[in-house]
Amino acid sequence: MYETIRQELRDEWTHPRVRQSSEVKFYYAVKRVAASDLPDGMKVALIQAYLTVMEQLQANHT
């Protein structure tokens, strides 16, 4: 799951010319999870997974 999130946040499935930043992708992912019909506990777990991957990407980027 973490690898899939990493690919999504890095926008690896989009053509390089139209890729969005990891920050933009993170924002949209959190909004999508928050708006979903998932139970609140699962929402929190998913957002935490996105946050963990985002922090790793930021740490590797600097």
**Predicted model pTM:** 0.89
**pLDDT for 54:** 96
Domain extent for 52: 2-61
pLDDT band at 61 (very low <50, low <70, confident <90, very high): confident
State how far Cα 52 lies from the chain centre: 9
Q: Within 10 A of 50 (CB to CB), how many other CB atoms are there?
A: 21
Distance CA 62, CA 48 (A): 21
Average pLDDT over residues 15-42: 96
Average pLDDT over residues 34-50: 97
* Closest to 34 in 3D by CA, of 25, 22, 42, 43: 43
Q: Where are the alpha helices (DSSP H) in 1-62?
A: 2-9, 22-35, 40-61
Please count the structural domains in the chain.
1
